[in-house]
A and B are shown apart, each in its own frame.
Chain A
């Protein structure tokens, strides 16, 4: 079984995306043997009030029961997000959150974020941060989204109990203090920038990190339709050093464990 923990639906204003409709994603999943995909609506990155994006997502995936696992985009700097979170969790069946402080323009030290993380933890919802949506070198001058670095993320993850997922993560050089901190918290990494070919020019050496953290911290992810769908698959296919159990955990086992946690 394969679960892609990192996909999107919706419109990206600065470049044409293909495959960004429910049918497009299902086609991608069918072609590459992906059984389920964790998905969020890109539109929520650009809406001030993100809740309509979550509603759009719910409607869009209705025709494909069982194929998509929806994640809500929540903006804690906009009023009434507490209500939105409740609706997403209870009525819309969202299984986690994707937060975009670099677009909704709040600091990771903002007390409103701390409050959101506390609420998410209370509901047993994992919280995902993405280093970026597109590489900074590709960005339009209109795109305000910078990159979230481990320097800013690690203190947040360390100081706020809960479950975290880091998407598009780059861990070329992992400081010892971060290694210790990340070992002791409930954090997962997607494989978009994992590499089995050392030294990787960017991203991280998956073999080294599996050795450091164990294979149960990694989630197969493609970042489709931003990124090409095949590179993500090659990353895991060619890693002969990982045994079948470790690969199975990364393809789907870890994701299933996360998704099967009973929400409150």
Chain B
């Protein structure tokens, strides 16, 4: 007796095209809709810059439905971070805020080495509508006493303070190493010197822990989990500083990075950011094993709660 399988039966019954259509529709239903996911969440980018034309940042934010973008113009070479240069850099941010009302959240850059000028510049920028400080760079380490008056000012103003965090030692066994050899050519872009191993003021995760413990009432944000060294080391170190936030930006988008950060730090301490890595900044949050509520928190709510302290929040 000849056997007839299900497929042959369906073909003989003339219903294969319908079946195929139904199966492909079911397959399409199961496939993750990337475009829909990108546009599903409100987003506040807590760490970005306008090194070039601000219109390009807005264009990128529009592609990814990012409502507001926190921007700064850090002067990355400590010797060049003079009060005059800093004022000019912050003026660029203020101008961009005027040119794109409601889209840019200004972050004031200072060099804590210049105490009086820094405090005056913070007042000037905050009075002009900036929302906090950022991206404070490598002039002074975040746990240095020169930062103390800056912290106290931010606490008084209820302003968040975001600082570049990096650790390029690669060999973490030796706490005295300053940077990894061979990292010099990572950035072809000469505007910045992210990986200069001789920079004295690079803040490591341990420095944020110390600063966070000294000023637990400060809203201290450690910049870019994926931008400045071993992210597992970074997250495990920051675990012991429960008041310190971490932003999710950086060009490293290793699979599992955000999941690991959630495990170490909890969802509440993580702030969505791109730091000019737009697609991956969004992609790494979407790819993490999070609930819908957790994704909303990271993309929007957590930073919005920080902004709410000074009534700078989005409605």
Q: A residues within 8 Å of B by Cβ? A: 15-19, 30-33, 134-141, 146-147, 149, 170, 172-173, 195-203, 224-235, 237-238, 240
Q: 14 A–B contact pairs at CB < 8 A? A: A30-B30, A32-B31, A33-B31, A136-B183, A137-B252, A138-B230, A139-B180, A172-B187, A197-B276, A201-B276, A225-B255, A229-B255, A233-B283, A237-B38
Whether A147 contacts B276 in the complex (CB less than 8 A), given A16-B256, A233-B34, A234-B283, comes out as no
Cβ–Cβ contact B283 & A228, under 8 A = yes
With A147-B186, A230-B32 already in contact, 20 other A-B pairs whose C-beta atoms are closer than 8 Å: A32-B32, A33-B31, A136-B170, A137-B180, A137-B186, A138-B229, A172-B189, A197-B64, A199-B51, A200-B276, A227-B254, A228-B256, A230-B37, A231-B284, A233-B34, A233-B283, A237-B35, A237-B38, A238-B35, A238-B64
Pick the contact of B276: A199, A224, A233, A238 (CB < 8 A).
A199
Whether A230 contacts B287 in the complex (CB less than 8 A), given A136-B182, A224-B255, comes out as yes
A146 neighbours in B (Cβ, 8 Å): 182
The 9 A-B residue pairs whose C-beta atoms are closest, nearest first, are: A231-B283, A197-B60, A201-B276, A141-B171, A228-B287, A197-B278, A33-B31, A231-B280, A230-B283
Pick the contact of A238: B28, B32, B63, B180 (CB < 8 A).
B63
Pick the contact of B278: A32, A139, A172, A195 (CB < 8 A).
A195
Cβ–Cβ contact B34 & A136, under 8 A = no
A199 neighbours in B (Cβ, 8 Å): 51-52, 56, 276
| Complex interface residues of chain B between 3 and 49 (CB less than 8 A to chain A) | 27-28, 30-32, 34-35, 37-38
B64 neighbours in A (Cβ, 8 Å): 197, 234, 238
Whether A138 contacts B277 in the complex (CB less than 8 A), given A30-B30, A147-B186, A228-B254, comes out as no
A141 neighbours in B (Cβ, 8 Å): 170-173
B255 to chain A, nearest CB (A): 5
* Measured CA separation A139–B60 after assembly (Å): 30
Q: Is B188 an interface residue (CB 8 A)?
A: yes
> Among the interface residues B182, B255, B283, which one has the most CB atoms of the partner chain A within 10 A?
B255
* Measured CA separation A35–B232 after assembly (Å): 33
A146 nearest in chain B by CB position? B182
* Measured CA separation A233–B34 after assembly (Å): 7
* Measured CA separation A136–B171 after assembly (Å): 12
Q: Contact string, B52-69, partner A, CB cutoff 8 A, digits 1/0?
A: 100010011001100000
> Among the interface residues B251, B254, B280, B287, which one has the most CB atoms of the partner chain A within 10 A?
B280
* Measured CA separation A232–B255 after assembly (Å): 12
A160 to chain B, nearest CB (A): 24
Whether A15 contacts B232 in the complex (CB less than 8 A), given A197-B278, A201-B276, comes out as yes
* Measured CA separation A237–B37 after assembly (Å): 11
Cβ–Cβ contact A237 & B254, under 8 A = no
Whether A226 contacts B34 in the complex (CB less than 8 A), given A140-B170, A231-B280, comes out as no
| Complex interface residues of chain B between 49 and 96 (CB less than 8 A to chain A) | 51-52, 56, 59-60, 63-64
B261 to chain A, nearest CB (A): 13
Pick the contact of A202: B27, B51, B187 (CB < 8 A).
B187
Whether A198 contacts B287 in the complex (CB less than 8 A), given A16-B256, A231-B280, comes out as no
B140 to chain A, nearest CB (A): 22
A130 to chain B, nearest CB (A): 15
Cβ–Cβ contact B278 & A173, under 8 A = no
Cβ–Cβ contact B287 & A229, under 8 A = yes
Cβ–Cβ contact A135 & B251, under 8 A = yes
A154 to chain B, nearest CB (A): 14
Cβ–Cβ contact B254 & A226, under 8 A = yes
* Measured CA separation A229–B34 after assembly (Å): 11
A139 neighbours in B (Cβ, 8 Å): 170, 180
B10 to chain A, nearest CB (A): 22
Cβ–Cβ contact A238 & B279, under 8 A = yes
Whether A31 contacts B279 in the complex (CB less than 8 A), given A15-B232, A230-B287, comes out as no
* Measured CA separation A200–B56 after assembly (Å): 10
